[in-house]
Amino acid sequence: MIKIEVPYLDQSHYYPTGCESVSTVMLLQYLGYRVSVDEFIRDYLKQDSFEERRGDLYGPDPRHCICGSPYDAESYGCYAPVIVESLNRIFEEKAVAEKLQQQTETEKNIHYRAVDESGKTAEQLVERYVSKGMPVIFWACINMREPKTGPVWKLKETGETFTWISNEHCMLLVGADEENYYFNDPYDGHGVIGYPKALVEDRHQAQHMQAVAVVKILENDCEKRKPGTETL
């Protein structure tokens, strides 16, 4: 059995549609960054609202920003590229997200980079990341419910019709055994919870198999690194 111990945060009281933000901050805190959910939302998360134009609903592209606000129960979420961009801003700036004071020289030389791992199965993500001690931000459905098609809106940027898949949910993949995958699930105070593997893979596929992982980069390699030099 594999299970990574990660600080747990609950979205229920303050962030009803903030599962992506809360899951991301759990990962950041695991990596040693001092950043709160409110700081992440305020300083690093792109957000945009909905509006009506001539009787049609226009809204954001969830691949570019969160659709609404994480504080609003009537809002929606965002997709993996938004979280990748937010994380990499934090990793590059390092000003707000300071590392914990107790660091070895080796830790001081480590940098991180977020990568979009959408398209990979939970099994692949466990093998590539979780088994090596790195949790993965993972999209599926709330309580592994059936996905539902809709609502629909037009994208502000292009006018293209976009269809949201409801019951979208984001968690932190932290472990696995023979039967289940385990998550730090921010919804409704679930804590660490296991779901059957086949069910997880099905719900993950329903949400476009989205996932965000983090790789370590040694400081000496930051300027001269080549593809494939990242490590876990």
Q: What is the pLDDT of residues 165-174, one digit of tens each?
A: 999 999 999 9
Phi, psi of 180, deg, nearest 5: -125, 155
Nearest CA among 201, 156, 179 for reference residue 56: 156
Q: What is the rounded distance in angstroms from the CA atom of residue 59 to the CA atom of residue 52? A: 9
The CA-atom distances, in angstroms, between 224 and each of 93, 116, 219, 228, 230 are 19, 22, 10, 12, 12
pTM, two decimals, is 0.90
Q: What is the rounded distance in angstroms from the CA atom of residue 83 to the CA atom of residue 100? A: 22
Element (H, E) at 27: helix 19-30
Q: What is the pLDDT of residues 59-109, one digit of tens each?
A: 999 999 999 999 999 999 999 999 999 999 999 886 333 444 445 555 566
Give, as one character, the DSSP assignment of residue 41. Answer: H
Nearest CA among 176, 174, 191, 100 for reference residue 133: 174
Q: What is the rounded distance in angstroms from the CA atom of residue 125 to the CA atom of residue 173? A: 9
Q: Would you state the structure tokens that stand for residue 190, as one six-digit string? A: 């679930």
**Domains in the chain, CATH or no CATH each:** 2-221 (3.90.70.10)
CA torsion, ordered 219, 225, 228, 229, to nearest 10 deg: -30
Q: Would you state the structure tokens that stand for residue 46, as one six-digit string? A: 């792109």
Q: What is the pLDDT of residues 11-43, one digit of tens each?
A: 999 999 999 999 999 999 999 999 999 999 999
Q: What is the pLDDT of residues 209-225, one digit of tens each?
A: 999 999 998 765 555 45
